[in-house]
Structure 1
């Protein structure tokens, strides 16, 4: 009997899976992501038909829950790591963000007139900086602070996703903020149109207030519908005007992060260093928006193409949130504590009041 000690090279070779088996696991991982994405898509279409209250819940919730479920089941069977290859949060997120830019027609915003853009600029600027400084005062971590400020000031989930890409936030932080967006949007969808009626606001002012304050598109549509058709129209315009500025905010936020936050003490980054560290997807977002706007304006593509790009964007975002749920760490959520909730609550109250004032002055 000969006892032979394995060399380090032999140990690695013995533990490395055969190429054929590795490809099988990769294929299974890709298939699992596709199946879970389809399941999330179906849930997102079916659940809102069950009840009006459920319309405000958007696909990130279903995606994260299904990702968590898949993670738990696969962990029980001991194969989670082998099937993790295609749960690629960053890839899906950045691709979806470029596609988000491709769904924004800048010509539509211009056609709506200056009122929507004026309100959007006022609200984004004031609410963003209010949230930013309140979060700093309460000691919220920098990247989470950026997500909170962007989500409240602009348009909820989409803005949080964009900010997460710009500052390279943790997936737990994005999941946390997404949950807050939906948690606060649900009661506002019912309370705000009722408050607008009680305050005897005109449909135009009510719609501008709703669109400028509520953070998810689904909740904006629901609240506008509960008030009146004219309020729904104006609310949609107001929200679309804010959405159109996501790219600008993402660009400025990413630039600030590279030049100020990530700068080493005593050093001033060169133009090349800024370019190297700058998240390129932000430029992709802006370029995609410009290209689609020009193409639509010149009749090179039809509106159906923009709609299809919107569906494709949603599929990539679903896959991103599935990946977030699949690798979610609850320890990271616990570490955030109560402070982000307090920041979001204060920012929502501030946004509600400022949006009411802006809508009353601009849309009266």
Structure 2
């Protein structure tokens, strides 16, 4: 690991050769201690993940028939996982072991694996059934909201990497897009944790506010579904909000969100090229070649696309019988994403909040309002006469 002494001695010209490594004490206790603490950290992550899944499944039963029933059913695993991760963060910090077990907080590995598996739930034939309006809305909405957020964040003086994360999260698909952007621009973990927290904080009230506004505005179900799918930044929250409006709204909301998710790879490619060829070049870096762009490109996006293609092909061959297999893949994806959200909570540092201040919150909130207005206009035009 970086920062550790190698344990091997060196020699200079004119001196005796170095002592063979077998004769040099290797201090195995240090290496063993590292792996022991990493194992402890992994147990902590797995235990918090299991508790998150348990709460997601059982809390709605505990409050069934009470005023909290609707809220409990709408709250999904990202909320429990991040909250438990933050709680675990506080506990291990107070115990003084946080840094020792931090090697087990593999946020990047967990979420990239989860996102690759997410591709299996994106059936290309479903997208094709709504290719016209869904793709048109996704392209127009992502473009408008991304560049508005990027511009506004620049006006607020935010770091380019945080600008990329915020713009991707608001315009595409929340935490998933932020992860893809973070890999493309090499953002700091604190910036990713901050962005993920904002996504969750804004997504939860949207589950209830958007269906209420849709009813208040008298929107048809298909328009309401497209509006919800184009606004809420997590797929789980989109499903919850769409279900509140109705079955048709749920189907269209899912199609719209899936279409936006599928465009995540396009944005990742663009960000990789832009930061490699423009931003870092202006900062004094040497002009990179295409090989550097490829090296920086988040490869898991290719896995995401491949999983979607394979799942679509598989379901086309075996038909309805294949849904059980896709269901297993989706359940595995959920577990990896739970592990990722728990790790985000465990990695989160209050210092990152103080460093970023109020400006990212103002940018995210303003971009969310802009997203609401643009998506409402697009949904009203593109989905007025659409039916599933």
CA distance, structure 2, for counterparts of residue 291 and residue 268 of structure 1: 37
Q: Any stretches of 5+ residues in structure 1 without a counterpart?
A: 1-6
| Aligned Cα root-mean-square deviation (Å) | 2.8
Shift of residue 200, structure 1, vs aligned partner: 2.4
- Tell whether 2:159 aligns with 1:141: yes
- Tell whether 2:347 aligns with 1:335: no
CA distance, structure 1, for counterparts of residue 36 and residue 284 of structure 2: 48
CA distance, structure 2, for counterparts of residue 163 and residue 120 of structure 1: 18
Shift of residue 107, structure 1, vs aligned partner: 2.0
Q: TM-score, normalised on structure 2?
A: 0.82
CA distance, structure 2, for counterparts of residue 312 and residue 207 of structure 1: 27
Q: TM-score, normalised on structure 1?
A: 0.86
Shift of residue 209, structure 1, vs aligned partner: 1.6
CA distance, structure 2, for counterparts of residue 190 and residue 77 of structure 1: 39
- Tell whether 2:363 aligns with 1:351: no
CA distance, structure 1, for counterparts of residue 359 and residue 340 of structure 2: 26
The number of equivalent residue pairs is 356
Q: Pick from 33, 36, 42: which aligns with 2:45?
A: 33
Aligned to 1:131, the other structure's residue is in SS state helix
Q: Pick from 288, 301, 305: which aligns with 2:325?
A: 305
Q: 1:173-322 counterparts in 2 under 5 A?
A: 173-263=191-281, 265=284, 267-299=286-318, 302-322=322-342
Q: Any stretches of 5+ residues in structure 2 without a counterpart?
A: 1-6, 10-23
The answer to whether the 8 Å contact 1:97/1:162 transfers is no
Q: 1:89-104 counterparts in 2 under 5 A?
A: 89-104=107-122
Shift of residue 55, structure 1, vs aligned partner: 4.4
TM-superposition CA deviations, 1:59-104 (whole Å, max 9, x none): 3332233233333333444433443332222222322222223332
Shift of residue 109, structure 1, vs aligned partner: 0.6
Greater Cα shift, 232-241 or 66-75: 66-75
Q: Pick from 122, 127, 131: which aligns with 1:113?
A: 131
Shift of residue 13, structure 1, vs aligned partner: 5.6
CA distance, structure 2, for counterparts of residue 80 and residue 162 of structure 1: 27
